Each structure stands twice: as structure tokens, then as C-alpha cells.
Amino acid sequence: MSVKDGDGTTSQDGKAYELQIYPRLSLETASCCILRVTKEATAASVIRDAAETLGLDTRKLYVLAEVKECGGEEWVLESTDLPVHRVLLWPRKAQEQHSQKEGFYFLLQERNHDGSIRYVHLPTVGNEQESKRLVARGFLPPQQEDLEDLCNLPVLNEDSILDNLRIRFQKKKIYTYAGSILIAINPFKFLPIYNPKYVKMYENHQLGKLEPHIFAIADVTYYAMLRKHINQCIVISGESGSGKTQSTNFLIHCLTALSQKGYASGVERTILGAGPVLEAFGNAKTANNNNSSRFGKFIQVNYLESGVVRGAVVEKYLLEKSRLVSREKNERNYHVFYYLLVGASEEERREFRLLQPEEYFYLKQENFMIEDADDLRHDFERLQQAMEMVGFLPATKRQIFSVLSAILYLGNVTYSQKSSGREEGLDVGPPEVLSTLSDLLKVKEEPLVEALTKRKTVTVNDKLILPYSHSEAITARDSMAKSLYSALFDWIVLRINHALLNKKDMEESVSCLSIGVLDIFGFEDFETNSFEQFCINYANEQLQYYFNQHIFKLEQEEYQAEGITWHNIDYTDNVGCIHLISKKPTGLLYLLDEESNFPHATDKTLLAKFKQQHQQNHYFVPTPVMEPAFVILHFAGKVKYQIKDFREKNTDHMRPDIVALLRSSDRAYVRQLIGMDPGAMFRWGIIRASIRALAAFNEAGRRWAAKTAGVVRPNSRVPLGELQRSNVPIERMYRHAPMLDFSFDHSEERPLEAFEDIFASCESKKKNKNPKTRQLIPKNLLDTRSLKYVVGLHDRTTKSLLHLHKKKRPPSISAQFQTSLSKLLETLGKAEPFFIRCLRSNCLRRCK
């Protein structure tokens, strides 16, 4: 498969793209059909042209399927899907090569009249089951035994478990059961076991009837939800690099395919675009993983009681902001910075004032060399394509890239002591960096310099302006960069949730069920562990406790209640470790919050308080007196944490004067990101749009009255009851929480026109019953109702760190994380769980 024009060079928009279509399911066929199509060509038109070119029977029905990773994934395109848009998300090499061996191509397959797809070959899993039956009957010689379920091992110990997993892995069987738990070993390569024929094969089968597979877990979860009318959840755990994120993608693919009977749903297509966006902004290279997720996410797929997908929600947890300004050796910053700097066009480089990666302080700390420039350019193209799929307009993308550039320039701000001995304070520079930063953020340079060098303190009777020390100025600069990036990431998640929103999500009367998939950071133990690893490992302790409760404690209590003879299983109870970290009032997190509120406290005094309170605790291991560290005995082993910067990272909030500076920006998008709460900045814009919409509604009513009665009544009024029944919810808008500022049209200067179009669209949708002329709300716009709903979802698990609190301190990072983790566990506690444990096959990330 390739996308090239006639002379072999990559085609530009408006030119023809070359597609290679393989007309059968068989991977061995060498024949293909080459078509030249435009970027906007639909799957229906490609199928029609391919059938004519190949001389196929046009009376039959065909579908076009996108195959990825040599059959590792297979997506059936709907008639309105755009194949070329899919190709632009493929790896660069797959776009350039014509060979089917590259693993990315399109298949033309015949479809039955009932809508099912006619597959050519028998599934591999079915053959394996038949082979087992023949072995059992003596028709085939027995092979080296490998058990699908570890519970069936005659001897259960560590050696027998590892031997069985090793034997299965060598046979390319990466999945094994341990009862209802699925163990998944990351092979660091794709296997051809994930296309729709496997979804169909595992559909509505009891767990264990077929070869272990991640689709079996998805299937039993889906049908358990429908049969029991109970929400389900799938908890994926494992260390970094064990394949948790890819397992999540496979689960979402299967869960939506089950609902749509083999066709990719709108939710799945949106998540397909959302995945590269979230990875670009939330993933980075670490010592153990080239594409490590530096945030946790919970994807909740919502279903009607009939089993049809109706929407989804993405919730994120604990973005690692400190990575933005500092990292360990052999690690990188977030992917998106390298994509932008290497992949941007010359025009974009001028617009965003981009430099080379090594010229930015926030990027050159790791002393890396750009050796994968071609891949980074392709990844930037893939990111832009994915952003379009989620609904980002070109103007919105430019605003995002401008903020990213400003964040990088913040790292290049330097400080030095004033040359004049009489004047205290710092000189800030270089001048060209400040000028560029002022232009990118659209703020005045003088207040920018003041915010970066001075602190405003309000007392009872006066307002004091004090100069920063050198270390305080560096901290304020980095805090501004981290808070901007965190707000940008929150905003992107908010937009993705809107793209996944179904209008029925806002109707409380609609009964629904859900399946949640949790992909959260694995247990971490690096050479240097800090506050981030402390929070991550605490989350893993809580999930391990949740696992223990469901697998051991609750099961044993149920057996005892029913009088079943049962010998209690001894398991490692980690309640003591959880209490050490989070039990009031002396848990480590509460002691951390106390010390964070003391102005004269230091990391040294914090460590002393830890040791004083917990020196007798079994789970707290003291270190030598002079070492600024402490050790916790976790369920997965001992981890040493360096106390340095614990307090600073726990109170990582943007100062009010910096918030005020950014809220004075002439760029609406920057003001949106620095809103005092989700919606404060655009409250009046919404109200003005509502008033305009109401005026347009009244004018439309007068025109209708004049048309039907022939009498013009200029002073006619809409009765209050009619107003309340209209689609302009003025009264409710005043009563409910304010809305977030979104201006998604191409001009920042005229944001209200977009909202006027929204109100017009709402009224048109209600009154116009003709589907051909019905006006729909574009995905790139938010109406007030959906905006309230999405912001409400956004606030369930995360609160902006940019809140400007006048009377009390904002909540600490650890307090916010505990709150979001508690809400997650509450959601999981109301659902029936399944567990997937991911393992790395080797430490070098090599495919074997």
C-alpha cells in the first residue's frame, strides 16, 4: 500500500493518491488493484472503482477493510469513511512501500446479504482446538504440554508457572488464564490474531472454551453486562513497557465491534483519532519504554440496554508535569515537542518562532541527538491528521502549537543579579526571548517581566511587591510552564470527550450500562524516585488492595457464608502500607501537606517528621542519617524515594500574579486555558450569544406571524411558558455553573457567531423533521448543554491547578490525586471487575 503520485513523490492535497487494494482475504496473494483517488474519496467510491477495475460481479456486496500490522488489526470501513485519511495515520515506511509484506494495506472482501463478512480461511484458533481434540482421541501425537489455565498445573509454584508461560510464549501464545484473570506477555511485535474474524469467533463463548485471548475477556465482560444489567470494568496492570496501552486499544476495538456487529462505530473511529493525540501530549521516552504513558486514563464505554454503544468518556489521572522541566538520564520530554520542531513546515516555523531542539533548555538537558528525524516528521503529520479526526480546526491547531512554542521559550528565560549594588532584584533576559514570549502569549512585555521577577503579597492593610531570589524565580518560571502545559492537556481531554459525546448522555431518563477500561501507570522503581513515583506506587497499592479484595477476601467470605469447605489462602495484605501513606492524621501524605503549608519548612524537616512518626512502622525503612531519602516496603518490593522537591511538587500551583498576567492576554485561547474555573472566562460571551439567539428567535416568530396572518405585530412578545420550552435556556443558564470559553471558528475576533449558529442548529433540529435538510451541530462546536455536561465530566476526577484562591490555599497535588483516586475506586467498586496482568517478555524490548 502506498500514497504516492505518478512520479514517485508524496502527493500534496488536491492531487491524486495511489491506493493498492488486495481483492481477497488471503495474505499470500500477490495480485492487487491500483487506484488513483483524491483525499476526500469515500470507501464506497473506492469499492465501486476497484470492483470495476477487477471485473467483479457488481451485483454482489463488498466491503473495504483496513489491515494493520500484517493482520494484527482489521477495521471494516463504513461507506462514508475516507481511506486516504486512514493511510495518513500509518507509519511512514508503510506509506512509502508498495509491498503487502509491510503489513498495512486494504482488503476488498465480499459481504453477505445479512451484513456479515465472508471470510476465506478457517481461524487459527479453531484449528488449534480441533488439533487438541485429535490428540485427545489418539489421532495425533501429543506435543509438549502447555496449559491454557495456570490453575490446572499439577504443581503450583513459581518455577512451574514460569515454565508454562515460557513454553506458551515460545509457541507465540502470549495469553494465558489464571482462573478468570488474563496474563498477557508483551511480544514487542504484532501478531495476526486481532482482526474481526477473532471477534466473531469469541462472541458469546464461555471463558476457557477457546484459546486464551484478550477478546475473550472483552466478550465475557460485554455479555455479563447485558445478562446481569451490572456495570463492568477491566483493570489492566503491569510495569512500564508491558503493553498496557496496546491492550487497552484491543479491548476498545473488540467492545465496540461486538456492539456494531463487525463495523467500526463512531466511538471507535473517534478513539482511533484520540489515541495518537493523547500519546503525543501525554507520552514520552523513558529508560524502560520508548512510548511510556506519563498519565493514567479510564475509558468508560456507555451502552444502551440493547447493547449498542452510545458514547464514551475519557478521564485522566496525574499527568507528570515535572517531566516538562527536568528528566533523568536517557529520557525525553513529551513527544509533541519533537514532532513540532522537526515536522513543522517553514511557514509554521516562522509563525511559531521555532528553533532547533538543541536550542531549548527544556529539551537539551538530556543531550540527545535527533537520529529519527524522518520518523518524527511522519509522526507530526499523523498527529495533525488525528487532531482533524477529533475535530480540531486549523485555527485551533495553530493556537495549540503557539502555546507549545511559548512553553519552550519560557525555559530559555534566564536570570542574573542586577549590576547595580543599591538595587535588589534580578535582571531577566535575553531580550529576544522575552519579546518572542510576549508575542506568542499576546501579553505586554513589561508585566511579563514583573511577573517573572517579583512576587506580590497581600497583607491586611497593604500590598507588598518583593523581588524573587534566583531559585524562587526559576521555580516561578518552571511553574508557569508546567501549569500552562497541564491546562492545555486538560483542555484536549475535554475536547476529546465532546467528540465522544452522545446527546443521550445528557438525558437522565435514558437507562444505560457501561464497561470501564483502566489503563493506569504501572509500578515504578527507577534509579532516582521522586514525588511522581511516590504517587504512582500509592495508586498501585490501592489497585492491588482492590485486586486482593475481589480475588481473595470476598470470595473466601462468600464460601464461608455458604458453608463450603474451604481452606483460607494466605496472601500478602497491603493494608498496612496503604495506612502508612494515607491514613489520617499521620499518614505520609497528610504530613506532606502539613509541611507544605509551613512557610519555613524544608525537605529536610519533612523527612525528619516522616522518621519521627514512622520509625517503628514495618513498612517504613529508615535510611542512614545523612541520606536525604526514605524507603517504603511496597507489595512489589522496596523502593527508595529521594525527598528532594517533595514539598515543591506538592504545591505546584501557578501564582496569582502570573494567572492575572495570562488572563490579560489578547489571545482568547490563552485566556480559556487560564480560566479561574471551567467556564468563568466566557460566561458573559455565552450570555450575549443567548440574548442574540433570543432576539433572533423573537424575530423569526414575528416573521412567521406576519406570513401566516398577514399582520405585522412589532411589539409581540413571547409568553414566558413558550420561552421556557424553547431551545434558548436563559433561565437555566443563569442558575447553573458557568460555561468554558470556546471559540472554534477561524477568527478569534468573532467567537459569538459560532454560538449563534449553535442555537440556530438546535432549533432547526427540533422543528425540521426532514433528514435531508436537517441542520446538525458540527463536532467542532459546543452548545451550552453539551458543554455543561462535558465540563461536569471533566470535573469529576480533576480540578484545574490554576484556581485563584483568595481566602484559602488551593488543594495540594497529593490531595487532588487522592480525591480522583477515591472517585475512581468508587466507580470500580460499583462494577463487576475483570483483571488483565501485563508482563514484559524481556528487559531489552526486543521481539523474540
Mean pLDDT comparison of 89-103, 132-146, 630-644, 696-710, highest-scoring range? 630-644
| Percent of the residues in the chain that have a pLDDT greater than 90, as a whole number | 35
What are the cell numbers at 250?
Answer: 484491543
Residue 548: the pLDDT is 87
List the binding residues: 238-245
Q: Is 410 exposed, middle or buried (0-12, 13-18, 19+ CB in 10 A)?
A: buried
Give the SS3 label for residue 472: helix
| Given 71, 72, 522, 679, the catalytic residue | 522
* 690 vs 332 pLDDT, higher one: 332
Residue 719: the pLDDT is 42
- CA 802, distance to chain mean position in Å, is 21
Lowest mean pLDDT, pick from 390-404, 550-564, 579-593 = 550-564
* 52 vs 832 pLDDT, higher one: 832
Q: Domains in the chain, start-ordered, CATH in brackets?
A: 17-111 (3.10.20.90), 405-489 (1.20.120.720), 531-652+809-830 (1.20.58.530), 683-797 (no CATH)
Residue 270: the pLDDT is 81
Averaged confidence pLDDT in the chain = 78
Q: Is 130 among the catalytic positions?
A: no
Number of DSSP helices (H) and strands (E) in the chain, helices first: 31, 21
Q: Return d(Cα 515, Cα 787) in angstroms, integer.
A: 23
What are the cell numbers at 699?
Answer: 424575530
Residue pLDDT, tens place only, 543-578 = 999 998 888 776 777 777 777 776 667 677 899 999
Q: Is 292 among the catalytic positions?
A: yes
Residue pLDDT, tens place only, 72-97 = 566 778 888 888 888 888 877 777 66
Q: Which of the four pLDDT bands, split at 50, 70 and 90, describes residue 290?
A: confident
Q: Is 524 among the catalytic positions?
A: yes
Residue 340: the pLDDT is 97
| Given 293, 582, 651, 761, the catalytic residue | 293
Residue 133: the pLDDT is 61
What are the cell numbers at 670?
Answer: 490563552
| Given 245, 436, 497, 814, the catalytic residue | 245
Q: Return d(Cα 116, Cα 130) in angstroms, integer.
A: 24
Residue 789: the pLDDT is 61
Residue 724: the pLDDT is 38
| Given 524, 532, 541, 763, the catalytic residue | 524
Q: CB under 8 Å to 20, separation ≥6 — which residues? A: 1, 2, 32, 33, 34, 98, 100, 105, 106
- Do 200 and 122 meet the contact criterion of CB atoms below 8 Å apart? no
Residue 39: the pLDDT is 86
Q: Is 296 among the catalytic positions?
A: no
Residue 437: the pLDDT is 96
For residue 390, what are the CA distances in angstroms to 142, 253, 273, 628?
Answer: 52, 17, 6, 46
Q: Which of the four pLDDT bands, split at 50, 70 and 90, describes residue 123?
A: very low
Say what the alpha-carbon torsion angle 731, 735, 737, 742 is, to the nearest 10 degrees: 20
Residue pLDDT, tens place only, 624-653 = 878 999 999 999 899 999 999 999 889 877
HSE at residue 805, side-chain half, CA atoms within 13 A, is: 12
Say what the alpha-carbon torsion angle 505, 510, 515, 521 is, to the nearest 10 degrees: 30
Residue 685: the pLDDT is 42
| Percent of the residues in the chain that have a pLDDT greater than 70, as a whole number | 71
- Beta pairing partners, 312: 301
Q: Is 241 among the catalytic positions?
A: yes
Q: Return d(Cα 717, Cα 694) in angstroms, integer.
A: 11
Q: Which of the four pLDDT bands, split at 50, 70 and 90, describes residue 725?
A: very low
Mean pLDDT comparison of 146-160, 627-641, 804-818, highest-scoring range? 627-641
Residue pLDDT, tens place only, 511-521 = 789 999 999 88
Lowest mean pLDDT, pick from 121-130, 242-251, 256-265, 657-666 = 121-130
Residue pLDDT, tens place only, 738-789 = 333 333 333 444 343 333 333 333 333 444 444 433 333 334 445 556 655 6
Mean pLDDT across 241-247: 89
Instruction: Read off the DSSP letter of residue 117.
Output: B
Q: CB under 8 Å to 420, separation ≥6 — which residues? A: none
Q: CB under 8 Å to 300, separation ≥6 — which residues? A: 312, 313, 315, 514, 515, 516, 517, 827
| Given 176, 195, 256, 292, the catalytic residue | 292
pLDDT of 721 > 60? The answer is: no
| Given 241, 275, 587, 679, the catalytic residue | 241
| Given 2, 186, 195, 240, the catalytic residue | 240
| Given 270, 289, 530, 582, the catalytic residue | 289
N-term to C-term CA, the chain: 27
Q: Which of the four pLDDT bands, split at 50, 70 and 90, describes residue 288?
A: confident
Q: Cell 463450603, residue?
A: 564
Residue 733: the pLDDT is 34
Residue 744: the pLDDT is 37
List the binding residues for ATP: 238-245
Helix (H) or strand (E) holding 826: helix 813-829
For residue 742, what are the CA distances in angstroms to 22, 273, 400, 446, 679?
Answer: 44, 21, 13, 28, 9
What are the cell numbers at 6?
Answer: 505518478
